[in-house]
Amino acid sequence: MQGCSICRGCSSITRAPPKALGAYPNLQGDGTKIAPLHHHASHDASWILGLYLAFTVIDWKATVVPRQARLVLLLSAFHGALAKWTKDFAADRNTHDARFYRMMNEVPTLLMIGIVILVIVRPFEQALQTCSA
């Protein structure tokens, strides 16, 4: 008698298989129950809170802030494109090849790297401080 595949010493030969993905309808990505509601609520809350910060806390005279805002708008526009491509897939109207989607998979990462660099490093403000000194 072999035992399980983890320790090889116990007497458990088989394990109960995990539930099929169909048992969890919200994880299928079919857009039917809670997932779309949760998605829109978190997206809207992020925009509302971001706009609140933009008009109450953020110093728009800083040269980095408009660049950050542009990258955030690009990220949101890309999100809209992803929603359209998802609907095209569901309707079997996909016009792009696999390479296109592999390339597009890197866009949010590059945008987020740019946003984080502008937030943490603030490269343009440092250059302005050097010039004005």
- The answer to whether residue 10 sits within a structural domain is no
**What are the average pLDDT values for consecutive 10-residue runs of the chain, which has 133 residues?**
51 50 49 55 84 82 79 89 89 91 93 87 65 57
State both tokens at 31. Answer: 């857009």
Alpha-carbon distance of 86 to 78, in angstroms, equals 12
- The answer to whether residue 105 sits within a structural domain is yes
Q: Which domain holds residue 69?
A: 59-132
Phi, psi (rounded to 5 degrees) for 15: -120, 155
- Total residues belonging to the chain: 133
- The answer to whether residue 5 sits within a structural domain is no
Residue 106's pLDDT is: 95
Phi, psi (rounded to 5 degrees) for 13: -90, -45
- The answer to whether residue 117 sits within a structural domain is yes
Alpha-carbon distance of 4 to 9, in angstroms, equals 7
All residues at 6 or more sequence positions from 94 whose CB lies less than 8 Å from its CB, including other chains: 85, 88
Residue 38's pLDDT is: 59
Residue 123's pLDDT is: 72
Q: What is the DSSP string of 48-78?
A: HHHHHHHHHT--TTSSHHHHHHHHHHHHHHH
- The answer to whether residue 66 sits within a structural domain is yes
Residue 32's pLDDT is: 52
How many domains does the chain fold into? 1
Collapsed DSSP state (helix, strand, coil) of residue 18: coil
- The answer to whether residue 2 sits within a structural domain is no
- The answer to whether residue 32 sits within a structural domain is no
Instruction: Give the global pTM.
Output: 0.59
Measuring CA to CA, which residue among 33, 15, 37 is closest to residue 24?
33
Residue 24's pLDDT is: 47
- The answer to whether residue 92 sits within a structural domain is yes
Residue 105's pLDDT is: 93
